[in-house]
Structure formats: C-alpha cells, structure tokens
Amino acid sequence: MKRIIAIIAAVLFCTGLALAEEPQKTIELPAKSGNVIFEHQKHIDMKHTCTPCHTTEAGGKIEGFGKEMAHDVCKGCHAQGTGPTKCTECHHK
Ligand code: HEC
Ligand code: HEC
Ligand code: HEC
C-alpha cells in the first residue's frame, strides 16, 4: 500500500513539473500581411488537447510553422464552420 502511494505521489510530482511550464496565453505570430494574434489558451480550453496543432501533448515550438501549415491547420479547422476564415479576421495590420 505504502509503495502504491509512493508511486502515485511520484507520478503527481512529475505531472506537476510538466505543468509548471505553462504555455503562453496569447502568441503573436508575425506575418507581412499583418500579425496574427493567436489566443493560445482559448484554443487549448476549447479543444482540451494539444495535438490538432502540436505533434505531442507537450507542445512547444512547431517545426516548420509558417503560412502553409497555418492556413492548412488553422483555416482547416475554422472552415468546419466554427472560426474565422477571412484574411482580415486573422491578419491585423
Ligand atoms: C489550435 C492550435 C494549438 C493548440 C490546440 C495548442 N497549441 Fe501550443 N502553440 C500553437 C502555436 C501556433 C504556437 C507557436 C508555434 C511556434 O512559434 O513555433 C504554439 C506554441 C506553444 C509553446 C511554445 C511557446 C510557449 O507558449 O511557451 C508551448 C509550450 C505550447 N504551445 C504548448 C501547448 C500545449 C501544452 C497545448 C495543449 C494543452 C497546446 N500548446 C495546444 C498552437 C496550438
Ligand atoms: C485562421 C487564421 C488565418 C486566416 C483566415 C488567414 N491567415 Fe494568412 N496566416 C495565418 C498564420 C497563423 C500565418 C503564419 C504566421 C507565421 O508564420 O508567423 C499566416 C501567413 C500568411 C502569409 C505569409 C506571411 C509572411 O510574412 O510570410 C501570407 C502572405 C498570408 N498568410 C496571407 C493570407 C491571405 C491572403 C488570407 C486570406 C485569403 C489569409 N492569409 C488568411 C493565419 C491566417
Ligand atoms: C481544432 C480547431 C481549431 C484549430 C486547429 C484552430 N482554431 Fe482558431 N478557432 C477555433 C474556433 C472554434 C474559434 C471560435 C472561437 C469563438 O468564437 O469563441 C476560433 C477562433 C479563432 C480566432 C478569432 C477569435 C479569437 O479567439 O482570437 C483566431 C484569430 C484564431 N482562431 C486563430 C487561429 C490560428 C492562428 C490557428 C492555428 C495556429 C487556429 N486558430 C487553429 C478553432 C480552431
């Protein structure tokens, strides 16, 4: 029993460490056509998972992030009728 509690405590401790590094709430993505203010936290709250955009649940820098991927992933999901798809709804001069 004691050992099980110790294991649970260790797991909770590790999860705590992982969560300690909170991702940014808002990320400004620079673009010539106008920077995109991306509400990271709001999107996390909506989806409760990281993998629509990140390859793992740990998140972090997205390899090769740029126009192609953004328009694919971001607009792709929005086009299902839930989010902005017009240029100026994302790009603000
Ligand atoms: C709807 C898309 C989306 C979702 C969902 C998402 N992220 Fe992100 N995240 C991004 C984008 C875009 C960036 C900026 C990428 C870059 O600059 O390479 C980013 C950057 C990050 C970064 C590095 C910058 C920072 O904030 O310190 C971390 C860490 C991160 N995300 C963690 C997470 C975690 C953890 C989750 C899930 C709980 C998550 N993200 C869910 C899109 C998303
Ligand atoms: C869902 C939000 C969204 C919509 C809608 C959208 N974009 Fe983007 N766009 C982005 C993001 C995010 C990036 C990548 C920014 C980065 O890499 O920092 C980007 C990148 C770009 C780039 C490259 C800019 C650079 O500096 O390299 C151009 C050009 C662009 N978009 C034009 C458009 C046009 C034109 C439209 C409308 C037809 C449009 N975008 C619609 C989010 C969007
Ligand atoms: C899995 C689906 C999904 C993905 C992927 C996604 N979004 Fe969204 N996004 C939404 C939904 C749903 C809304 C509408 C939220 C609302 O109206 O409350 C939204 C709203 C927005 C808005 C306008 C409202 C706000 O909160 O700022 C912007 C800008 C935006 N998204 C940018 C992005 C960018 C940039 C990416 C890619 C890095 C992205 N989204 C990826 C679902 C998604």
Give average pLDDT by consecutive 10-residue segment, the chain, 93 residues. 56 50 91 97 91 92 94 95 94 94
Residue 54: nearest ligand to its CA?
1
Mutation pick for ligand 1 pocket among 15, 19, 40 (CB with most ligand atoms within 8 Å): 40
Ligand 1 close to Cβ of residue 61 (< 6 A): yes
Q: What is the CA radius of gyration of the chain?
A: 17
Q: How high is the pLDDT of residue 82? A: 86
What is the predicted pLDDT for the residue at 14?
A: 47
Distance CA 36, CA 30 (A): 6
How far is 52 from 50, CA to CA, in rounded Å? 6
31 CB-near residues (< 8 Å, 6+ apart): 67, 91
Say which residues have a Cβ less than 8 Å from residue 57's Cβ, sequence separation at least 6: 49, 50, 51
